[in-house]
Structure 1
């Protein structure tokens, strides 16, 4: 002791136990009695689920770690499953997914985001006017659908404002299933396409997705907005994905997006998303990048001879070049 003060030794240094005082184990509970639920909405760490016809709110169990749970997931639930106000169940298991629809912020962003799980149909909603149609956005969604193993459905809205003929001719070589709707038209064709299936609706802002959902299900109550008269762009009205039961299946409405990044899709799979160009691509030399003025690229020959639509070839080339960090112009 010096000057009336005791010197501190190693035994005097407090040490905080890491990970708590309990010994860690890799033997996680199996939860054999967990009830299966279907995730219908996700909001700030709370998961709205259906167990048969009973709505339940749940949180994710700690043992699941950082893995994401999304709308469309089938999950195992334990805890309070009564669904009474103020009760909270726990998600303890995420069942194997039959399909996963992904997107990235742009074509150079390595971080992919799962949009929905277990869907079997991607309904690509595109307005014919107000805002103007964006075929390149449609092409991106088609690539994402083929990559995820979803059957695509082209849903054209606002046919009372513009003729759908031109856009339909653009995709004539794909034999793409499609429906055409208007604000006052009959929705029976769309209903038939959606009945009994798990369909996710995707579209850029302002195309009328939420309006369609409200017409198909008047109790849905999805927010709708208007198109900015100056920019001709819509504003985001739906802020989160939600699954709604519909005639033996589900409709999953997603927020409007301004881009659909495909950084998670390989260049070969991007090309495979253009099946109407497949015959010409097969004639390209090995390793052909399919870029403009590439020696021997059969796409140029196909356009020159009138076998390929120039806008389709241009869209493919823009998608491929955007993966090299080139800015894509819409």
Structure 2
């Protein structure tokens, strides 16, 4: 028996990598009985007589697990958001950030397609960048046509497991191709009528880059609130989490309660209005989801 990490899952096979190479494996039937599904990123115990005929026997404990995309043991999430085609959406970015914060993963905001940004939108994007940096997030502006911006992104990927995530059409695969041209990942232009891209990535795979791994994942534009409650949502907003203890009422949801430190910070301009607005929208969505189930 040996220990390795699953670097790709495709058509019922798990491709497990260790110091001896990559082995094609199937999962033992007891995973189904225990309702366990091996995920890309999992450390596993496996046995293999040769490179193409192995079995995953046991899963090691996970540090974290994402449902969409299905991946485990992620250290960093590179949230790729284009500034044009499709247009930048702070609301969608906040939803991704909430999802990532809830799973205790370090986020990195990557603004893509900077070369396409119209001049009249430049100051707006600069302001959003400042606001997210003020919160404490690292924000990198990139263009696949500007080599210096790609070089700035590379060190952030070194020696860690990162997942590239974002809605389809924002240029995740194009960025990975710019970082490592030999990948030659499939890319497609976005639909002009729908203002979003086609899904070009069809499975999750860990790609070795800069001494670490990057997961190129299927594009998606919506996230559920698995494991996130009305009480825990504000903890996924760092600028709110810092003020929770200052609220008058314990369990304050920062919506209708008096003497709320978060609402006071919004009024004073210390918390961006659009961040508070997204928080209230997500709070209502969580309440609605709770009522449905």
Task: Give TM-score scaled by structure 2 length.
Answer: 0.88
Structure showing greater radius of gyration is: 1
Q: Do residues 320 (structure 1) and 289 (structure 2) align? A: no
RMSD, aligned CA = 1.9
Q: Do residues 301 (structure 1) and 272 (structure 2) align? A: no
Q: Please give the per-residue CA displacement for 1:14-38, whole angstroms capped at 9, x wherever unaligned.
A: xxxxxxxxxxxxxxxxxxxx11121
CA separation in 2, counterparts of 1:234 and 1:282?
42
The residue aligned with 1:94 is 59
The residue aligned with 1:176 is 137
**Counterparts in 2 of 1:182-261, with a 5 A limit?**
182-185=143-146, 186=148, 187-261=150-224
CA separation in 2, counterparts of 1:58 and 1:279?
46
Note if contact 1:121-1:151 (Cα within 8 Å) is conserved in structure 2: yes
Q: Do residues 55 (structure 1) and 19 (structure 2) align? A: no
Deviation at 1:134, TM superposition (A): 1.6
Unaligned 5+ runs, structure 2: none
**Counterparts in 2 of 1:1-330, with a 5 A limit?**
34-65=1-32, 66-80=35-49, 82-83=50-51, 87-103=52-68, 115-162=70-117, 163=122, 164-185=125-146, 186=148, 187-284=150-247, 285-291=249-255, 293-325=256-288
Unaligned 5+ runs, structure 1: 1-33, 104-113
CA separation in 2, counterparts of 1:259 and 1:44?
25
Residues 278, 73 of structure 1: alpha-carbon distance in 2 compared, 3 angstrom cutoff: closer
Note if contact 2:25-2:56 (Cα within 8 Å) is conserved in structure 1: yes
The residue aligned with 1:13 is none
DSSP-derived class of the 2:63 partner: coil
CA separation in 1, counterparts of 2:220 and 2:25?
27
Q: Please give the per-residue CA displacement for 1:103-155, whole angstroms capped at 9, x wherever unaligned.
A: 5xxxxxxxxxx721111111111111100112122212222222222111111
Deviation at 1:276, TM superposition (A): 1.4
Q: Whose helix proportion is higher, 1 or 2?
A: 2
Q: Please give the per-residue CA displacement for 1:67-123, whole angstroms capped at 9, x wherever unaligned.
A: 01111111111132x22xxx32110011122222345xxxxxxxxxx7211111111
Which stretch shifts more, 205-214 or 42-51? 42-51
Q: Please give the per-residue CA displacement for 1:196-254, whole angstroms capped at 9, x wherever unaligned.
A: 11111111111100111111122223221111111211111111111011121101111
Note if contact 1:98-1:117 (Cα within 8 Å) is conserved in structure 2: yes
Q: Please give the per-residue CA displacement for 1:248-300, whole angstroms capped at 9, x wherever unaligned.
A: 11011111101122232233332111111235443332233322x54444443
CA separation in 1, counterparts of 2:17 and 2:269?
53
Note if contact 2:31-2:37 (Cα within 8 Å) is conserved in structure 1: no
Deviation at 1:53, TM superposition (A): 4.9
DSSP-derived class of the 2:129 partner: helix
Between the two proteins, the alignment pairs up a number of residues equal to 278
Note if contact 1:122-1:153 (Cα within 8 Å) is conserved in structure 2: yes
CA separation in 1, counterparts of 2:136 and 2:253?
26
